[in-house]
Amino acid sequence: MHIPDGILPAQACIGGYAIATPVTWYCLRQINRQKDPTAQIPKASLLTAAFFVASSIHIPIPPASVHLVFNGVLGAMLGYHAFPAILIGLFFQAIIIGHGGLTTIGVNAVMMGVPALLAYHVFQLRYHVRRGRSDRWTTGIFAFLAGAVGIGVAALIFFALIITTIPSGFNATTEQAAIYGLTLAHIPLMLIEGTFTVMLALFLQRVKPELLES
């Protein structure tokens, strides 16, 4: 899921930063509008650390191997804090464990952070259908959708970026087959991350429901 240095052309890397910059500004602006902008920082710090560690947990799904991302989890739990948290996590992943790259931080942030914001809005839909159903039921459904949507949309962005920027010197047929296989391998990961998001959301709803408010 992380795109390393040297894979994308310079235009794509610059475009990633060009998109990530205003999105980060918008998220920080939304955070500053909250009654207490610093209230979410401890939770954001904890989940940023989880995002950092998740990339080192690999799951073999033949014919590829994928790793946990947790961008949907961050979106559901952090709201607009998710994008800055993912940006920070990507920076430390790049410089500490060499996962991703410095030139592609902008692209990776957009690829994982924008779906996280989408996951946040999906999770918030539970408020609109709560009438007539139990809180636990609606929380579970929309938590699963948030976790699955986060990784699913990120995989689609990854697919679009890589499939349209295959270098001319590469065997296009072979590369396309590998990209298709890697993208399809993320479908089981959607189920895994969706299920994890459900477990986390239901646990927090039972022990500390205020942590679900972002």
Cα separation of the two ends of the chain: 26
pTM of the model: 0.90
Q: Domain of 159?
A: 10-212
State the sign of the Cα–Cα–Cα–Cα dihedral 168, 173, 175, 176: positive
Q: Any idea what the CATH number is for the domain that residue 125 is in? A: 1.10.1760.20
Asked if the structure places residue 4 within a domain, the reply is no
Report residue 170's pLDDT band, with 50, 70 and 90 as the boundaries: low
CA distances from 142 to 19, 38, 202 (A): 28, 26, 11
**Domain contains 165:** yes
**19-23, 134-138, 204-208: which has the minimum mean pLDDT?**
134-138
pLDDT at 133 over 60: no
Tell me the chain's radius of gyration from C-alpha atoms: 17
Q: Which tops the pLDDT comparison, 176 or 100?
A: 100
30 domain-assigned: yes
Dihedral class, residue 76 (left if φ above 0, else alpha if ψ from -120 to 50, else beta):
alpha
Answer yes or no: is 51 within a domain. Answer: yes
User: Does any domain span residue 136?
Assistant: yes
Number of domains in the chain: 1
- pLDDT band for 147, please (50, 70, 90 cuts): very high
**Structural domain includes residue 94:** yes
User: What pLDDT does residue 180 have?
Assistant: 81
- The answer to whether residue 189 sits within a structural domain is yes
> pLDDT (tens digit, 9 = 90+) per residue, 80-118?
999 999 999 999 999 998 888 899 999 999 999 999 999
Residue 160, domain member (yes or no): yes
